Each structure stands twice: as structure tokens, then as C-alpha cells.
């Protein structure tokens, strides 16, 4: 039985390989950090993790995770509503609500689940979902699971969003959905303008803060802080897997009745396990750290500014990032792969992206800055960029 299907898969895999799109993993044998050790003992500087605040190996988070296992155990062996809720899960939901200035929060095993479980319980075929064309795969999948009428607007294009809103007046309720920070260009969704249009055309607003929370805004509290939109965004989704410690876990936070309804009807919440106590405890410690001082966010911001300034001075073409994502434009797909491979030989890990992940002719190297980076790490990466850039004729 398997033979013919095996042949089919082998052919498919070979064509992925031929297209240069085959994904390979790097086996790390150290904690996730600015400097990592690989399985073969070699070291590298990591500029492709979502470890924005450098918390992935933070001793306070590790200790919180270890300590809680003595009092709350290892796993919950249950979904939330049956017997999977501890005091610390409720405390974490409260901490997230406080952080985003929202009314209530519901935890998920991942933000992928938060997005997968947010639309179907709230909207029907009578309603409209208006989605940015560059939204994350999990939003796209979540929208697919819902019967609402779909509209798509060009990335952060307010005229196109307005067109969608006008067309969507045909539906009962409307919701605008956007990523807070778009992961390929590092640009921030213009939340103030989105909220203005939502008011004008009677729509709800949802933002996925996965790449923006902990990063954008004067103290890193996300897009509502950055654009002064507190109280105007109905739903935020986010992850505990990026700035907030980097382990795993997701959440939806926002209006009380929306969260109440998700607790009744959201399928990934009803039919998938609770996050384990160690994650809840470490995440609580994360929000405590962020509440105590803005040091990590300040350092991240200083690192982003430093890196961008030096790279522009060296002659690189950098997208005008507003986040911790810095796109070094190369435009040519094979060049982006060659560049990523050569700079890896210099001990710098970055990711080369090209079509179909980004538009044709828009190939690039994506650099992700972190509060874990010290200036020496940044200087080493910049020197490697300059060396490889000259070798490959990208800069003079």
C-alpha cells in the first residue's frame, strides 16, 4: 500500500529540494541565547531567534519553573475546564490583562491555537473578517475555520482597508484583523488609522501581538501603547514563545464578553491541554521582571538603533524597521542563500528569505535583534556582514 504513496512523497520532497526550499534544522546543544553551541561543538552568534528580550535562558525564569514543580507538579493532564486550571493559570491571565490594559485573558497552548480558536466561536456566515494580506499563517487558518465572509487588504494599506470596509457593510458585524509587527519587513501596523477606520465603518479590531509585544511602544507594551490606542482594540492575541520567555504558550486578551464566549466555545481551549505549571510560573515571573524595570526593552531598542545605524553607514539597504526585525535587502534569491551560507561560516546565524516567502525580487536577510546581544556581538555581526557583503559585491 505505502509503495506508490512513498514514491509520490519522494518526488515531492525532491522537488522541494530542487527549488532550494528544503528546510533543515540546526541542532543546538546549549540554551537559546545570543551565543549558542551546536551539536558538533561549534559556536555561533544567533541573530534569528525571537528571543527579543533575551529571557529564554534567564535565571529567574528557570528558577520559577523549577520551584513550581515542587508545589504544582509537572503536567496538568487535562484541558482547562475539566480539571486543568491552577491558581497560577488564573494569576497569569490577570498579569497578561494588566500588561495589555484589557479586561480578561484566556490562555492557549500556543498563539497558533489562540488564532485558530478565535474566529469560529465569535462570527458566522452573516459576518465579515477583513484581514491584512501579510497576516500570519495561524490567522489565515483561523479564518478558514470560520464561515464569515472574507476580505483581504494589501499590507497596511489604509485605502484598500477602507474599500473592504465599505464592501463589508453588506454583512452584520465586521472585524479588522492584523499582525502588530509583520515578520518579513518588521513594519508596524498603523493601529491608530486602523482604529479610526473601524470607528467610521462600525468594525471590531483584532491585533496579533506576537512580534510586537515586549518590543514596540515606549515601554514595549505593544501596538496599543505605541499608537495610544488603549481601549480601542477589542482583541489582542499573543505568544509566550517570543519576547515573553520563548518557551511555549499563547493567549487572547481583550473585552470581557469576548473572552467569556471563547471559554465556552473556543475549540483549542476546550479540546487541548492546559499549559504546564512551569510555563505559567515562568511567564508570571516574566511579567514581574517587565513590571520592575524597562531595562531589557531599553537595551533591545539601543541594540536595534546601533545595528541599523552601522549597517546603513556600511552601505547596506535596510528596510525602515520599526521593530526588532531588520530586513537587509539583497533582492536576488540565489544571492540571499549564498549570503546566509557565507555569513554562517563566519559564525553568524541569520535567515535568508526569498520567493514565495517574500514577493519575487524582494529577497533579503532577516536579522532579529535581542536584548541578549552585547555590543561585541553586534560588532562581530556587522563586521561579518561587511566582509561577506564586499566578497559578494553587495557593498563597495
Torsion of CA 154, 156, 159, 163, to 10 degrees: 50
Residue (100 or 112) nearer to ligand PLP, CB: 112
* Binding of ligand PLP by 239 (CB under 6 A): yes
* Binding of ligand PLP by 111 (CB under 6 A): yes
* Binding of ligand PLP by 183 (CB under 6 A): yes
Neighbour count for residue 182 (Cβ, 10 Å):
23
Piece in contact with ligand PLP (CB under 6 A), picked from 23-31, 109-117, 279-287, 315-323: 109-117
- Residue 17 contacts by C-beta under 8 Å, 6 or more apart in sequence? none
The interface mask with ligand PLP, positions 247-286, x = CB under 6 A, is ---x------------------------------------
Residue (107 or 122) nearer to ligand PLP, CB: 107
Active site residue 387: no
How far CA 365 is from CA of 54, 64, 122, in Å, comes to: 21, 36, 38
* Binding of ligand PLP by 321 (CB under 6 A): no
Q: Which among 136, 211, 236, 377 is annotated as catalytic?
A: 211
* Beta partners for residue 352, in sequence order: 365
* Binding of ligand PLP by 179 (CB under 6 A): yes
Alpha-carbon distance of 85 to 274, in angstroms, equals 7
* Binding of ligand PLP by 110 (CB under 6 A): yes
* Binding of ligand PLP by 364 (CB under 6 A): no
Active site residue 211: yes
CB of 354 to ligand PLP, least distance (A): 19
Q: Which residues of 17-37 are buried (b: 16+ CB within 10 A; e: fewer)?
A: eeeeeeeeeeebeeebbbbbe
Piece in contact with ligand PLP (CB under 6 A), picked from 163-171, 208-216, 343-351, 363-371: 208-216
Residue (171 or 183) nearer to ligand PLP, CB: 183
Alpha-carbon distance of 206 to 345, in angstroms, equals 41
Supply the DSSP string of 93-105, one letter for each residue. Answer: HHHHHHHHT-SEE
* Binding of ligand PLP by 120 (CB under 6 A): no
Sign of the Cα torsion 121, 125, 127, 131 reads: positive
- Residue 392 contacts by C-beta under 8 Å, 6 or more apart in sequence? 335, 338, 339, 342
Element containing residue 46 per DSSP (H, E): strand 43-46
Q: Which of 210, 274, 321, 362 binds ligand PLP (CB under 6 A)?
A: 210
Burial of 220 (0-12, 13-18, 19+ CB in 10 A): buried
* Binding of ligand PLP by 325 (CB under 6 A): no
Q: Which of 40, 46, 41 is nearest to 348 (CA)?
A: 46
The interface mask with ligand PLP, positions 122-161, x = CB under 6 A, is --------------x-x-----------------------
* Binding of ligand PLP by 366 (CB under 6 A): no
Active site residue 101: no
Residue (165 or 181) nearer to ligand PLP, CB: 181
Piece in contact with ligand PLP (CB under 6 A), picked from 18-26, 105-113, 190-198, 351-359: 105-113
Piece in contact with ligand PLP (CB under 6 A), picked from 14-22, 205-213, 269-277, 308-316: 205-213
Piece in contact with ligand PLP (CB under 6 A), picked from 86-94, 106-114, 252-260, 353-361: 106-114
Spatial strand order in the sheet of 35-37? 35-37, 43-46, 348-349
Residue (138 or 336) nearer to ligand PLP, CB: 138
Report the 3 state secondary structure along 121-151.
Answer: CCCCCCCEEEEECCCCHHHHHHHHCCCCEEE
In the complex, the residues that contact ligand PLP under the rule CB under 6 A are: 110-112, 115, 136, 138, 179, 183, 208, 210-211, 239, 241, 250
Q: Which residues are catalytic?
A: 183, 211, 242
Amino acid at each position: 500500500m505505502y509503495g506508490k504513496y512513498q514514491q509520490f512523497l519522494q518526488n515531492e520532497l525532491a522537488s522541494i529540494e530542487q527549488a532550494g526550499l528544503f528546510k533543515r534544522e540546526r541542532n543546538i546543544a546549549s540554551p537559546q541565547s545570543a551565543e549558542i553551541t551546536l551539536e558538533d561543538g561549534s559556536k555561533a552568534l544567533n541573530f534569528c531567534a525571537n528571543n527579543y528580550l533575551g529571557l529564554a535562558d534567564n535565571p529567574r525564569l528557570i528558577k520559577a519553573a523549577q520551584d513550581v514543580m515542587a508545589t504544582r507538579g509537572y503536567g496538568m493532564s487535562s484541558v482547562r475546564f475539566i480539571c486543568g486550571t491552577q491558581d497560577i493559570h488564573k494569576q497569569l491571565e490577570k498579569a497578561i490583562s494588566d500588561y495589555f490594559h484589557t479586561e480578561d485573558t484566556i490562555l492557549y497552548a500556543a498563539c497558533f491555537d489562540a488564532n485558530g480558536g478565535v474566529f469560529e466561536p465569535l462570527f458566522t456566515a452573516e459576518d465579515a473578517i477583513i484581514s491584512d494580506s501579510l497576516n500570519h499563517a495561524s490567522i489565515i487558518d483561523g479564518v478558514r475555520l470560520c464561515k464569515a465572509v472574507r476580505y483581504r487588504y494589501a499590507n497596511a494599506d489604509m485605502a484598500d482597508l477602507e474599500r473592504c470596509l465599505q464592501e463589508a457593510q453588506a454583512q452584520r458585524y465586521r472585524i479588522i484583523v492584523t499582525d502588530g509587527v509583520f515578520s518579513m519587513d518588521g513594519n508596524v501596523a498603523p493601529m491608530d488609522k486602523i482604529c479610526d477606520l473601524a470607528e467610521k465603518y462600525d468594525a471590531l479590531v483584532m491585533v496579533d501581538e506576537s512580534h510586537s509585544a515586549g518590543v514596540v511602544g515606549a515601554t514595549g507594551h505593544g501596538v496599543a501603547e505605541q499608537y495610544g490606542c488603549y481601549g480601542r482594540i477589542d482583541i489582542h492575541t499573543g505568544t509566550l514563545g517570543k519576547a515573553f520567555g520563548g518557551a511555549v504558550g499563547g493567549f487572547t486578551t481583550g473585552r470581557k464578553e469576548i473572552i467569556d464566549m471563547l471559554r465556552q466555545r473556543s475549540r483549542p481551549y476546550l479540546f487541548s491541554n492546559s499549559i504546564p505549571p512551569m510555563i505559567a510560573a515562568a511567564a508570571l515571573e516574566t511579567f514581574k521582571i517587565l513590571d520592575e524595570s524597562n531595562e531589557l526593552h531599553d537595551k533591545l531598542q539601543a541594540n536595534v538603533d546601533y545595528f541599523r545605524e552601522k549597517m546603513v553607514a556600511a552601505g547596506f539597504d535596510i528596510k525602515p524597521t520599526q521593530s526588532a526585525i531588520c530586513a537587509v535587502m539583497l533582492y536576488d534569491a540565489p544571492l540571499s542563500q549564498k549570503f546566509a551560507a557565507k555569513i554562517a561560516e563566519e559564525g553568524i546565524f541569520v535567515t535568508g528569505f526569498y520567493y514565495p516567502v517574500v514577493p519575487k525580487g524582494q529577497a533579503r536577510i532577516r536579522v532579529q535583534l535581542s536584548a541578549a546581544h552585547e555590543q561585541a556581538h553586534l560588532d562581530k555581526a556587522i563586521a561579518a556582514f561587511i566582509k561577506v557583503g564586499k566578497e559578494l559585491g553587495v557593498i563597495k
